Amino acid sequence: MKYRSVIFDLDGTLVNTIADIASSMNRALALHGFPELAAEEYKKIVGWGIKKLAWEALPPEARAENSPNGPHSSALAEAVAADAAQFYAEKPLVHSEPYPGIPELLAELKRKRLRIAVLTNKPDPVARLVVEGLFPGTFDSIRGDTPGAPRKPDPAITWEILVEFGCTPGETIFMGDSEIDMETARNAGCFPLGVSWGYRPRETLEGTALSLREGAALIIDHPLELLDLLSGSKL
């Protein structure tokens, strides 16, 4: 088998977490006197880390008053993000559940002795709560956002995982639902495998709404398609 490891994004790839993300961020927004967003709106802005999510969730007038070059923008986003992270950690798995086919996929990858990891821009403590809560003892490595560490699409943490696994980028599939994941895969030299069931539209994964360099090399519509591709050596 050509591929020896798979690195997964978390939100929108392994688990549908959007309701719990929306709940925690909306509680934080309300605490600071800002209106809540519909859960569907969060699908458009998740993936870059919780501080950027908090900034994007703020109403336009708040962003205008606290522009990126202004003195209060960082403090405002950090305050909302910190509260949202606390609320999320208190109740990370109220609504979240794996996508259909994901548990079966992971079990088969383990049976085939592929090394598997999660790499997410979700804060590391919450990422571990979600992954271990839904997939206890399954993953060989779980890496979330930690202070001072680079986030996706920077390839640094991907390479750290590969060193840990003793695998090369050419032996690794990076599977995700967003342009961030496809860019991470490209930057790291891994195979960029997109999934259609997540939070971004297909055209974003294809790169037609972006630069071609960021597009997926292949997009699957169900998790178990990965097994068919692996067994058929079509990747």
The torsion angles phi and psi of 121, rounded to 5 degrees, stand at -90, 5
Over 80: is that where the pLDDT of 210 sits?
Answer: no
Share of the chain above pLDDT 70, in %: 92
pLDDT digit string, tens, across residues 97-130: 999 999 999 999 999 999 999 999 999 999 999 9
Q: C-alpha distances in angstroms, 14 versus 96, 134, 170, 177, 195?
A: 10, 10, 22, 9, 10
Tell me, what's the pLDDT at 36?
96
Over 80: is that where the pLDDT of 65 sits?
Answer: no
What sign has the CA pseudo-torsion 74, 79, 85, 88? negative
Mean pLDDT of 180-204: 95
Q: Are 119 and 157 in contact (CB under 8 A)?
A: yes
Mean pLDDT of 16-22: 97
Share of the chain above pLDDT 90, in %: 82
Please give the mean pLDDT across all residues of the chain: 92
pLDDT digit string, tens, across residues 139-148: 999 999 999 9
What's the CA gap between 169 and 186, in Å, rounded? 10
- Tracing tokens 């919780």 back to the chain, one arrives at 50
The token pair that represents 150 in the structure block? 């680079």
Residue 206 pLDDT grade (very low, low, confident, very high; cuts 50, 70, 90): confident
* 71 or 18: which leads in pLDDT: 18
Tell me, what's the pLDDT at 156?
98
Tell me, what's the pLDDT at 75?
82
The token pair that represents 85 in the structure block? 């992270």
Residue 29 pLDDT grade (very low, low, confident, very high; cuts 50, 70, 90): very high
Mean pLDDT of 172-182: 96
* 215 or 177: which leads in pLDDT: 177
Tell me, what's the pLDDT at 55?
92
Mean pLDDT of 150-172: 97
Mean pLDDT of 58-72: 71
pTM of the model: 0.91
